[in-house]
């Protein structure tokens, strides 16, 4: 048996303890033959440092080695600089990142135990050793290696190997390394100090640009954070992988760099321009530019620095920065000025003059930006120019430049009178173009009245007014009348100017437009913008402090430390008490959930009370830590808002703040009917302030940072509030199952309970909505089809109703009409507060995304379907007799034309909504009479025929599919549209030929 085994080698172990304290020399000697090469008497040599890092050094040894590498240590013994790319540097950096950081970073970063000062010093030294272009690049490369290793391994291996902890420590180190606001400037200084060759400097800076501005750091960090999202203590690291926060950090670093370099340092500005231009491709231009220009705005020499920066950027980069600046100005200084509410005096504003000075600094030395700005203003599209305040500021930049004003005035007037522009451009863009025409005319008239007189009598002006007056849209004609009257008043003597004797021209809106020619803004000072910028930063800091110091939830009363002594209670019955047996005992009180505790010390007596003022309601909604108070605020909000509508000015003063608070509510405690109560609160705000809040919610739907669910809630609130304003609120609330509102009548307007039952009884509300609007529209077609199959009309017997039955039905209709409480000027409110804001903003979004080929979140199928259904609900509520029906028809058909060829229109959830909207427009024009029908087949013939052909294609495609449900509904919608349009065309042709004039319709 022994001969079967042959000894190949014998190993003898040393008589040494495997565990126990060892000296530095012993630890070095036990590294083995593979690591003997690093033992070198020179402690500053790369071999010694690499070997030390690999040998699990103690904290003292690590600190000694790092001090040797630290460039802040001016010791003459240094044999190399770790910031320069050499083979030795690469090896040291690799060991530092792959061994030292996973072993020591989590300990020295927390610095919670031991000598805190020593650990902080060690942490600073380690950061300085890797603070270089090669250091940052090595950390990012190691992070990518870790991600690739993690993705290639199985989940079980990853959990057991601790890869997530290593990735977390590495990204934590990178976050701390880059966090300072002067990171970019320090790296730039190092590059241009270490390298003596200009080629090497450019290569190093381009490498840094690819790391910072090309997305290498951002994409790598985002991928790493996605892998470790379930780890603890990653909140401080999120900024480096989140695009918005990272772009803000980079913009602040760029501002810090530009504020410190000299104006005449062309090489430095060239480097800054390269980094800025490349950073615009990150996809977060607005956040980057906001930090950059607001920081430079606070500098005393803002204009020279801005001029040098723009000169080092390409034309497309200049335009991108200027566009982002205008968008930020729009949000910061002119919020809520997109729509004209009423005529008001055109006053000079320091903010407008300050914005004019800021914009003048941009375009003064850039012909590219000046030409682009003129194109934006003349067409009314592009550049994020949406408010009248920003347009006044931009026109003020040309207030002293006659040639530029003349060019802008002619170009704007040419667009204003173009037939194609009038017919196919959104009304909101036409209004913007009209404002520019009037403002430019006023400025040019003050500089040179003869120029305005010559243009006013030229063919450009006369053709523009003629084309406007011949337009099919009433709004387009009104704008033409306004421009004609305004310019005629400038060039003609008093009393002989052009005048249209119409009611629309005398409205407050028309007077506001006519007053624009008297606007006298100028290029002012930047100080108002600097002051407002500082105030905004202070308010943000105060709000963050308030949020961080939010009151904790009210604690339950603590149990007493003293033991409660239980005393037995014995009932003693007295003979005298038996005399009261005939007394009626009181009823047992209702049970209270808060008194159900056996231990009385746990019962909470301090119950929250319902808010009675709007400020109390806002406080309840903000107190998310107190569940009872939060729930009470949500449930009482709808009734309180409605009750306060007619009493005082609380709603008017706090409407926007309350709407913002309600819109941002979260169902933190999974409360019953939470979403229904929030929806009712929004509906209540819209009903009590329809014009103001309709525009506010429309603006929030497109511009606010909302989720898809919140946007859906906004659309639902807009649709249902429009129905309630028309008198269908109770029916819709019962149909969709909203919780019943509390009694919203003010206490002084209510009868006592006993009298209320006697005198306040009312009839039951009208029956709820039975079918969808499309089904109601198609029902007569089905009845006619069934009637045609039952035989000729001559053989049918007509049933006459009795006189009493007819009178009863008439009284019911009259009672129903009186019972409805409709809003005064309902057509104006729904048009200007609901329809035009939604359609205008949607057309702007569609145009901006189509030109830039960027992602459009509003074209997601479910959100687009709800948007189209909301528009259908609004126009159906407006009815066929609204004065804005021609414009409403034109805008809706333009929307359908822009959507029916998009890929999203083929989605099963979107196609029925498009069909329903088209059917609703057809029904409105048919119900309005012969003028509406003729409008469909004459003014909008091209649009209607194209949409009819598209509907026929949909009908053929759906007919080939055998199925029920959605396919059958879509088939009915398509068939109904084709039949109705066919009848409209036949009736119009019959009227032209004089057929059946006296027998039908």
Alpha helix segments (H runs only) across 397-470: 402-417, 419-424, 427-447, 449-456, 459-469
Average pLDDT over residues 326-355: 74
Residue 258 lies in a domain: no
| Same domain, yes or no: 619 and 510 | no
pLDDT bin (cut points 50, 70, 90) of residue 42 is low
pTM here is: 0.70
pLDDT bin (cut points 50, 70, 90) of residue 743 is very low
Give which of 213, 183, 86, 195 is closest to 138, Cα–Cα. Answer: 86
708, 742, 776: which is the final residue of a domain? 742
Residue 897 lies in a domain: yes
Residue 280 neighbours by CB under 8 Å, 6+ apart: 288, 317, 320, 321
Q: Compute how many other C-beta atoms are within 10 angstroms of the C-beta atom of residue 589.
A: 7
The reported pLDDT for the residue numbered 10 is 45
Total domains present in the chain: 3
| Same domain, yes or no: 342 and 456 | yes
- Give whole-number Cα distances, 16 to 31, 58, 430, 577, in Å: 15, 21, 92, 98
Dist CA 162 CA 148 (whole Å): 15
The reported pLDDT for the residue numbered 105 is 86
| Same domain, yes or no: 403 and 522 | yes
Backbone angles phi, psi at 879, to 5 degrees: 85, 170
pLDDT bin (cut points 50, 70, 90) of residue 157 is low
Q: Are 777 and 976 in contact (CB under 8 A)?
A: yes
| Same domain, yes or no: 520 and 629 | no
The reported pLDDT for the residue numbered 183 is 92
| Same domain, yes or no: 524 and 614 | no
| Same domain, yes or no: 622 and 524 | no
The reported pLDDT for the residue numbered 884 is 85
Residue 384 lies in a domain: yes
| Same domain, yes or no: 893 and 994 | yes
Q: Compute how many other C-beta atoms are within 10 angstroms of the C-beta atom of residue 673.
A: 14
Dist CA 996 CA 1000 (whole Å): 6
Q: Above 60 in pLDDT, residue 997?
A: no
SS3 letters across 200-226: HHHHHHHHHHHHHCCCHHHHHHHHHHH
More confident residue, 113 or 440: 440
> Burial code of 867-894, b = ≥16 C-beta within 10 A, e = fewer?
bbbbbbbbbbbbeeebebbbbbbbbbbb
DSSP letters for 957-971:
HHHTS---THHHHHH
The reported pLDDT for the residue numbered 205 is 93
Name the DSSP class of 645: T
Residue 417 lies in a domain: yes
Cα 8 from chain centroid (whole Å)? 76
Tokens of residue 658, six digits: 């309350």
Name the DSSP class of 467: H
| Same domain, yes or no: 640 and 513 | no
Q: Are 137 and 124 in contact (CB under 8 A)?
A: no
For tokens 């000062």, the residue is 117
Give which of 340, 690, 694, 691 is closest to 510, Cα–Cα. Answer: 340
Q: For residue range 177-205, what is the model confidence (pLDDT) as tens digits?
A: 999 989 999 999 999 888 888 899 999 99
| Same domain, yes or no: 512 and 625 | no
Helices (H) and strands (E) in the chain, counts: 46, 0
720, 742, 764: which is the final residue of a domain? 742
Q: Above 90 in pLDDT, residue 60?
A: no
Four-point Cα dihedral 115, 117, 122, 124, nearest 10:
150
Name the DSSP class of 832: I
Q: Are 269 and 310 in contact (CB under 8 A)?
A: no
The reported pLDDT for the residue numbered 540 is 41
Residue 589 neighbours by CB under 8 Å, 6+ apart: none
> Burial code of 689-708, b = ≥16 C-beta within 10 A, e = fewer?
bbbbbbbbbbbbbbbeebee
The reported pLDDT for the residue numbered 249 is 94
Which residue segment(s) compose the domain that 982 sits in?
841-848+864-1000
More confident residue, 112 or 976: 976
**CATH code of 652's domain:** 1.25.40.720
Alpha helix segments (H runs only) across 689-769: 690-703, 708-725, 729-736, 753-759
Tokens of residue 983, six digits: 């009848």
The reported pLDDT for the residue numbered 394 is 92
**What mean pLDDT value characterizes the chain?**
77
Q: Above 70 in pLDDT, residue 307?
A: yes
Q: Are 426 and 843 in contact (CB under 8 A)?
A: yes
Dist CA 580 CA 562 (whole Å): 41
The reported pLDDT for the residue numbered 999 is 45
Residue 461 lies in a domain: yes
Residue 352 lies in a domain: yes
| Same domain, yes or no: 518 and 634 | no
The reported pLDDT for the residue numbered 270 is 93
Dist CA 431 CA 442 (whole Å): 17
pLDDT bin (cut points 50, 70, 90) of residue 218 is very high
> What is the C-alpha radius of gyration for the chain, rounded to an integer number of angstroms?
38
More confident residue, 526 or 210: 210
Q: For residue range 583-625, what is the model confidence (pLDDT) as tens digits?
A: 555 555 555 555 555 555 555 556 777 788 888 888 888 888 8
Most trustworthy range by pLDDT among 313-322, 329-338, 420-429, 737-746: 313-322
Helix (H) or strand (E) holding 848: helix 836-852
> Burial code of 793-816, b = ≥16 C-beta within 10 A, e = fewer?
eeeeeeeeeeeeeeeeeeeeeeee
| Same domain, yes or no: 493 and 357 | yes
| Same domain, yes or no: 354 and 499 | yes
User: How many CA within 13 A on the CB side of residue 400?
Assistant: 8
Q: What's the length of the chain? A: 1001
The reported pLDDT for the residue numbered 773 is 44
Backbone angles phi, psi at 647, to 5 degrees: -130, 115
Dist CA 247 CA 711 (whole Å): 26
The reported pLDDT for the residue numbered 371 is 92
End-to-end CA distance of the chain, in Å?
A: 118
**Angle between helical axes of 650-663 and 708-725 (0-180°, round to 10):** 140
DSSP letters for 518-579:
G-------SHHHHHHHHHHHHHHHHHHHHHHTPPPPPPPPPPPSSPPPP--------GGGGG
Residue 253 lies in a domain: no
Q: For residue range 539-569, what is the model confidence (pLDDT) as tens digits?
A: 444 443 433 333 233 332 333 333 333 334 4
SS3 letters across 31-76: CCHHHHHHCCCCCCCHHHHHHHHHCCCCHHHHHHHHHHHCCCCCCC
Q: Above 70 in pLDDT, residue 677?
A: yes
Backbone angles phi, psi at 683, to 5 degrees: -60, -40
Helix (H, G, I), strand (E, B) or coil at 908: coil
Dist CA 806 CA 89 (whole Å): 100
Dist CA 157 CA 832 (whole Å): 62
Backbone angles phi, psi at 167, to 5 degrees: -65, -40
Dist CA 639 CA 641 (whole Å): 5
Dist CA 750 CA 759 (whole Å): 11
User: How many CA within 13 A on the CB side of residue 552?
Assistant: 2
475, 497, 528: which is the final residue of a domain? 528
Average pLDDT over residues 303-310: 87
Residue 906 lies in a domain: yes
The reported pLDDT for the residue numbered 297 is 83
């Amino acid at each position: 048996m022994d001969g079967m085994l042959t000894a190949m080698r014998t190993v003898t172990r040393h008589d040494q303890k495997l565990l126990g304290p060892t000296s530095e020399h012993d630890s070095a000697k036990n590294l083995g033959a593979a690591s003997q090469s690093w033992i070198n008497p020179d402690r500053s040599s790369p071999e010694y440092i690499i070997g030390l890092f690999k040998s699990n050094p103690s904290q003292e040894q690590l600190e000694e080695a790092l001090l040797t590498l630290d460039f802040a240590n001016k010791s003459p013994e240094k044999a190399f600089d770790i910031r320069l790319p050499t083979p030795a540097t690469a090896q040291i950096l690799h060991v530092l990142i792959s061994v030292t950081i996973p072993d020591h970073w989590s300990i020295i970063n927390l610095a919670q135990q031991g000598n805190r000062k020593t650990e902080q010093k060690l942490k600073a030294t380690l950061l300085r050793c890797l603070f270089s272009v090669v250091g940052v690049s090595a950390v990012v490369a190691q992070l990518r290696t870790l991600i690739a290793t993690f993705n290639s391994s199985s989940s079980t291996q990853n959990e057991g190997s601790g890869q997530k902890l290593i990735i977390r420590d590495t990204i934590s180190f990178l976050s701390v390394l880059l966090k300072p606001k002067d990171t970019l400037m320090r790296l730039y200084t190092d590059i241009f100090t270490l390298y003596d060759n200009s080629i090497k400097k450019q290569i190093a800076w381009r490498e840094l640009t690819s790391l910072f501005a090309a997305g290498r750091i951002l994409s790598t960090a985002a991928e790493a954070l996605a892998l470790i999202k379930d780890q603890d203590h990653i909140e401080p690291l999120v900024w480096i992988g989140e695009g918005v926060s990272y772009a803000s950090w980079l913009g602040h670093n760029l501002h810090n760099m530009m504020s410190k370099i000299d104006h005449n340092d062309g090489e430095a500005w060239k480097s800054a321009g390269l980094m800025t231009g490349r950073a615009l491709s990150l996809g977060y231009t607005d956040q980057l530019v906001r930090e950059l220009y607001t920081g430079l705005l606070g500098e005393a020499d803002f204009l020279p620095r801005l001029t040098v920066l723009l000169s080092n950027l390409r034309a497309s980069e200049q335009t991108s920065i200027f566009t982002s600046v205008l968008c930020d100005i729009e949000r910061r200084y002119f919020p809520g000025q997109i729509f004209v509410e009423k005529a008001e005096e055109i006053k000079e504003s320091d903010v407008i003059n300050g914005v004019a000075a800021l914009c003048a600094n941009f375009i003064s030395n850039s012909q590219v930006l000046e030409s682009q700005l003129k194109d934006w203003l003349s067409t009314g599209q592009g550049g994020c120019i949406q408010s009248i305040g920003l347009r006044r500021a931009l026109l003020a930049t040309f207030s002293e430049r006659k040639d530029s004003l003349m060019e802008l005035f002619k170009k704007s007037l040419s667009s204003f009178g173009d037939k194609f522009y009038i017919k196919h451009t959104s009304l909101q863009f036409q209004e913007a173009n009209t404002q520019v025409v009037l403002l430019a005319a006023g400025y040019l008239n003050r500089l040179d009245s003869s120029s305005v007189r010559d243009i006013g009598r030229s063919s450009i002006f006369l053709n523009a007014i003629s084309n406007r007056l011949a337009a099919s849209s009433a709004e387009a004609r009104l704008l033409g009348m306004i421009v004609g009257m305004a310019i005629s008043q400038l060039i003609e003597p008093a009393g002989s100017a052009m005048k249209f004797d119409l009611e629309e021209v005398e409205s407050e809106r028309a007077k506001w437009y006519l007053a624009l020619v008297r606007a006298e803004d100028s290029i002012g000072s930047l100080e108002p913008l600097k002051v407002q910028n500082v105030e905004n930063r202070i308010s943000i800091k105060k709000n963050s402090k308030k949020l961080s110091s939010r009151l904790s939830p009210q604690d339950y009363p603590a149990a007493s430390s003293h033991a409660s002594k239980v005393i037995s209670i014995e009932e003693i019955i007295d003979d005298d008490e038996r005399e009261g047996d005939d007394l009626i005992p009181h009823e047992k009180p209702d049970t209270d959930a808060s008194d159900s505790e056996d231990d009385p010390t746990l019962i909470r007596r301090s119950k929250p009370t319902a808010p009675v003022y709007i400020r109390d309601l806002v406080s309840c909604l903000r107190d998310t830590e107190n569940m009872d108070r939060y729930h009470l605020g949500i449930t009482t909000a709808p009734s309180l808002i409605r009750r306060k509508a007619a009493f005082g000015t609380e709603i008017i003063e706090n409407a926007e703040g309350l709407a913002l608070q309600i819109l941002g509510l979260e169902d933190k405690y999974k409360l019953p009917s939470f979403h229904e109560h929030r929806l009712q609160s929004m509906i209540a705000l819209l009903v009590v302030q329809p014009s103001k809040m309709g525009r506010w919610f429309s603006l929030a739907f497109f511009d606010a940072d909302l989720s898809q669910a919140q946007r859906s809630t906004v659309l639902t609130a807009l649709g249902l509030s429009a129905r309630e304003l028309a008198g269908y609120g109770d029916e819709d609330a019962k149909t969709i199952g909203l919780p019943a509102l509390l009694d919203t009548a003010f206490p002084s307007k209510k009868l006592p309970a006993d009298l209320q039952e006697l005198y306040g009884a009312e009839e039951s509300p009208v029956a709820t909505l039975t079918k969808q609007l499309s089904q109601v529209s198609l029902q007569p077609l089905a009845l006619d089809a069934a009637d045609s199959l039952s035989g000729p009309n001559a053989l049918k017997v007509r049933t006459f109703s009795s006189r009493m039955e007819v009178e009863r039905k008439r009284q019911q209709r009259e009672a129903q009409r009186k019972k409805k409480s409709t809003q005064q000027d309902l057509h104006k409110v729904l048009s200007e507060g609901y329809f035009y804001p939604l359609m205008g903003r949607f057309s702007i979004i569609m145009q901006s995304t189509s030109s830039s080929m960027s992602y459009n979140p509003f074209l997601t199928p479910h959100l687009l379907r709800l948007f189209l259904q909301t528009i259908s609900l609004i126009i159906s509520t407006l009815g066929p007799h609204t004065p804005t029906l021609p414009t409403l028809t034109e805008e809706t058909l333009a929307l359908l034309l822009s959507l029916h060829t998009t890929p999203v229109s083929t989605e099963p959830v979107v196609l029925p909504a498009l069909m329903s909207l088209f059917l609703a427009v057809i029904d409105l024009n048919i119900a309005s009479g012969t003028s509406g029908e003729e409008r469909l087949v004459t003014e909008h013939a091209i649009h209607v025929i194209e949409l009819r052909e598209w509907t026929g294609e949909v009908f053929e495609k759906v007919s080939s599919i055998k199925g029920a449900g959605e396919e059958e509904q879509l088939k009915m919608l398509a068939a109904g549209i084709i039949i109705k349009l066919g009848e409209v065309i036949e009736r119009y042709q019959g009227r032209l030929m004089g057929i059946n004039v006296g027998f039908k319709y």
